[in-house]
Structure 1
Amino acid sequence: MNCGLVVVDQTEAHRDLLREAAEHASGADAEIVLLTLMSEERYESDIETLESIGSVENVSYDSSAVLDAAANEASDTAREILPDEIGFKSIAKAIDDDERAHAVLDTATDQGCDHIYVLGRHRSPTGKALFGDVAQQIVLNFDGYVTLSTN
C-alpha cells in the first residue's frame, strides 16, 4: 500500500477503522487520506448557522469554512490516533447521499490511493457481512484493495 483512503466520521467505529488503516500504513510506509463526507442538507444548514453567527458578530464567513471545519476535525482525530511517522491529509466534501460511492472512488483516484477503508453495515445473525449499497459499489468499482469493517 502506498496511499490509503479512510472514510471517516466522528464515531468510535470510524476511529477503529482509522486505527486499522494506521497499522497497514505504518508497515508499508504509506500515507493516509482522510475523507469526510457531509450531506448537502447538513452543509446548507451549517452555512446558514455560520451566516447567522456572522451577522451577530459582524463578521463574514466563507462557505468553504464549513468544509474546512470538517476536514480540521478529521485532522484532529488523526493526530490523536496516527503515529507521528504516518503522513496524512484531510479532505471534506458536501454531496448528495446517492453520490457517496462516487465521491469515495473519485477522491481515491484523484489522490492516487491504492487502498480504501470503509465501514459496511453490520453482520446478520448468521455472521454474513451486510455491506450496504455504498460499500458494495466501492468494492465492485475500485481498482485496488478495499477493507470493509462491519463494527
Structure 2
Amino acid sequence: MNRALVVVESTDSAKRLVRNAGEFAAGTGGELVLLATMNDDEYEHTLETMSTIADVEGTSYSSADVTESGRQFVRDIAGAELTDLDVEYEPLCAVVEDGQQARRIVATAAERDCDHVFITGHKRSPTGKAIFGDTAQRVILDFDGPVTVVTD
C-alpha cells in the first residue's frame, strides 16, 4: 500500500479504523488521506452556527471556514489515533449531496492516487439498503482496489 483513503467519522469504530489504517500505513511506509464528509444539511447547520458565533464575537466566517472546521475535526481524530505512529496524512473535508458520499469517496481516492480505501459500514436491514443504498457497498463496487470495511 502506497496511499490509502480513510473515511473519518466520530464513531468509536471509525476512530479505531483510523488507528488500524495508520498502523497498516506505518508498517508499509504508506501515507494516508483522511476524509471527512458532510451533507448539505450538516454544512448549512455548521455555517449557521458559525454565523451566530461570528455575530456574538463581532467577526465573520465564510463557507471556507466550514470546510476548514471539517479538516480540523480530521486533524483532531488523527492527533488522538495516530500520535505515536510514524505516518504522513493529509486531512480533507468535502461537502456532498445526499446519496453522493460513495461517489465523492471514490473520486477523492482517484484524485489523490490512493490504492486502498478504509471505510466504516453501518448496519442496515436489507430493506434499508434497497431503499437508501449503502455507501460502503457502493465504494466496494466502484473503487478499483482493496476496500477494508469495519461495521459498527
Q: Find the residue that maps to 2:135 and give its secondary structure.
A: helix
Q: Indicate the residue corresponding to 1:128 in structure 2.
A: none
Matches within 5 A, 1:54-133: 54-82=54-82, 83-122=84-123, 133=134
Aligned length: 144
Q: Distance in 2 between matches of 1:9 and 1:150?
A: 13
Q: How far, CA to CA, are the matches of 1:116 and 1:138 in structure 2?
A: 8
Structure 1 residues without counterparts, runs of 5 or longer: 125-131
- Aligned-partner SS, 1:73: helix
Query: For the aligned residues, what is the CA RMSD?
Result: 1.6
* Alignment check: 8 A CA contact 2:8 2:35 kept: yes
| Runs of 4+ with >6 A deviation | none
Unpaired stretches in structure 2, ≥5 consecutive residues: 126-132
**Percent identity among equivalent residues?**
37
TM-superposed deviation, 1:84: 4.1
Amino acid aligned to 1:27: G
Shift of 1:43: 0.5
CA distance in 1, matches of 2:65, 2:27: 35
* Structure 2 partner of 1:127: none
Identify the range of structure 1 (23-32 vs 51-60) with the bigger mean alpha-carbon deviation. 51-60
Name the TM-score, length of structure 2 as normaliser: 0.88
The TM-score, its normalising length taken from structure 1, stands at 0.89
Q: Determine helix, strand or coil for the equivalent of 2:48.
A: helix
